[in-house]
């Protein structure tokens, strides 16, 4: 009986972990036309930032090296503290950029 309970617990925990990873991976990307993204000047490709409109932008700044980016620096996309439930491109940029310490 103990082995069966342990097995069932492991199956339940494994299923929960798998579901959580799928939900995270399935988060939609931020659309540049989204009102919040537009307000922050978000671009999925930082090289396309309008430098006259956003003079704060400097070459090399990207979501992947921003303090608000919740993924790893090498990730193509990840969560951002500003866009709940959505992912930003690792190569993206917005006016809220803050260099990761």
pLDDT along the chain (101 residues), means of 10: 61 52 71 97 97 96 97 96 97 97 88
pTM of the model: 0.74
CATH number for 28-89 (one of 4.10.490.10, 4.10.520.10, 3.90.226.10, 3.40.50.300): it is: 4.10.490.10
6's tokens: 């342990």
**Number of neighbouring beta carbons within 10 Å of residue 95:** 13
Phi, psi of 61 (to 5 degrees): -75, 135
Q: What's the confidence (pLDDT) of residue 23?
A: 45
Please give the pLDDT value at position 51.
94
pLDDT at residue 61 in the model: 98
pLDDT at 56: 95
CA-based Rg of the chain, rounded to a whole angstrom?
18
């Amino acid at each position: 009986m103990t082995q069966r309970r342990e097995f069932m617990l492991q199956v339940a925990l494994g299923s929960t972990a798998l579901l959580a990873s799928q939900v995270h991976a399935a988060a939609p990307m931020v659309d540049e036309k989204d009102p919040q993204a537009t307000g922050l000047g978000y671009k999925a490709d930082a090289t396309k930032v309008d430098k006259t409109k956003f003079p704060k932008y400097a070459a090399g700044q990207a979501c992947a090296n921003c303090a608000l980016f919740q993924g790893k620096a090498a990730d193509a996309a990840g969560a951002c503290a500003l866009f709940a439930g959505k992912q930003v491109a690792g190569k993206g940029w917005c006016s809220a950029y803050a260099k990761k310490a």
